[in-house]
Amino acid sequence: MEGRTCVETRKKKESLREHLLPCRRRKQLLKRERERERERERERERERERERERERERERESNWCNTLL
């Protein structure tokens, strides 16, 4: 760093770090929120799959009952 003393450089770095800290926190929060949203989507997909499986089971039972008639 041309012409800066060690103290000036340190203060500049500390200032930059203080400025970036909220940015890092925001980034971490956004990352966590995206992960939670992905998890919710996976759970919704699992629930849809369970519902499809229940529907197939009802269909099999219905077909089986119809074959007895």
pLDDT in tens, 23-46: 778 889 899 999 999 999 999 999
pLDDT classification of 49: cutoffs 50, 70, 90? very high
pTM of the model: 0.55
Give DSSP secondary structure letters for the chain: -TT--HHHHHHHHHHHHHHHHHHHHHHHHHHHHHHHHHHHHHHHHHHHHHHHHHHHHHHHHHHHHHHH-
User: Can you give the residue ranges of every domain in the chain?
Assistant: 1-69
- The answer, yes or no, to whether residue 11 has pLDDT greater than 80, is yes
Chain centroid to Cα 17, Å, comes to: 27
